[in-house]
Amino acid sequence: VEQPMITFSDGNAIPQVGLGVYQTPNDGASAAVQAALNAGYRHIDTAAIYGNEEGVGKGVQTSNVAREDIFLTTKLWNDAQGYEATLMAFEESLKRLGTDYVDLYLIHWPAPKMDLYVETWKAFIQLQKEKRIKSIGVSNFNPDHIDRLVSETGVKPVINQIELHPDFQQTEFRAFHDSQNIVTESWSPLGQGKLMDNGVLVEIATKHGKTPAQVLIRWHIDMGLVTIPKSSNPERIKANFDVFDFKLDQDDLAALAKLDDTKNRLGPDPLTADF
Ligand code: NAD
């Protein structure tokens, strides 16, 4: 399958659509990853805290897709922030994933009260120098957090993975990222499944002969975002990747823009989240 890619400021490229595996149990992760790779996905998004890096790694190893053709992301959990702790946590993640590098490593949350994200970032920079990580990025960071990384280390994250769906569009963050040449990646891109019955969405889906889930995924693509819809159901995994034969038009985008409301946040607010 020919699929759209976005090129980072470091020159590496990420497939715009990946498989999310949050809440996919470790013993089901291998099957989900294999279903995705068979459907044509080449991008998988996991995290140490998801407890399924082993299953994801098994799925990658037992597939008939070469490791170098797969874009693999994992994330550093908050309890491992700090320079030395990050280096150790990264080794553990690689061991569980059964690989000797990741394509993208993200600081999962800034955890501002702990105030260790700059030290953590220095370890990321070191690991990238050692070619253990191809690209380094962040998740749930605010513009202030990103500015601080840049002013203290001179190295900019290539991507920020944040909560983003058509009814929670993160306009300000997207503008900031665009101004900094940072890619925006949407988590909970389907609004955790809660958006499927929305009347506006259903109407657009009917018009294009697609499902609401496919319209949601297409919206992220057409907005220039990277997106990682989650499913562990092989049929849905396949359907969620069948989104490259249509495009939303200006009317569709305008109708979906009206759903945007800052009240529709589903997850924690990074400013106040401290785990
Ligand atoms: P999502 O928006 O991807 O929704 C997933 C849910 O939508 C599924 O559980 C299922 O119920 C439903 N669904 C999926 N495909 C469907 C289909 N075709 N038809 C009908 N329903 C369908 O939610 P998510 O899992 O929260 O987010 C996706 C990924 O984002 C995660 O797996 C994870 O990788 C990442 N994530 C990251 C963070 C972070 O802090 N960085 C936080 C949350 C999620």
From ligand 1's centre to the CA of 153, what distance in Å? Answer: 33
Residue boundaries of the structural domains of the chain: 12-196+223-246
* Per-residue b or e along 204-220, where b marks 16 or more CB atoms closer than 10 Å to that residue's CB: bbeebebbbbbbbbbbb
Determine the pLDDT at residue 272.
79
User: Alpha-carbon torsion 124, 129, 134, 136, what sign?
Assistant: positive
140 Cβ below 6 A of ligand 1 = yes
Ligand 1 atom with the shortest distance to the CA of 229: 3
Determine the pLDDT at residue 151.
98
Q: At residue 48, what are phi and psi to the nearest 5 degrees? A: -55, -40
- Pairing state between β 13-15 and 133-139: unpaired
Q: Report in angstroms the alpha-carbon separations of 194 from 17, 97, 177.
A: 20, 31, 27
**Type of residue numbered 35:** A
Determine the pLDDT at residue 257.
97
Judge if ipTM > 0.85. yes
Determine the pLDDT at residue 112.
92
pTM (global) more than 0.90 = yes
* Segments in the chain below pLDDT 70: 1, 274-275
Ligand 1 atom with the shortest distance to the CA of 214: 18
The CATH architecture to which 12-196+223-246 belongs is Alpha-Beta Barrel (3.20)
Give per-residue pLDDT as tens, 232-270: 999 999 999 999 999 999 999 999 999 999 999 999 998
Q: Which of 17, 19, 21, 22 for mutating ligand 1's site (highest number of atoms within 8 Å of CB)?
A: 22
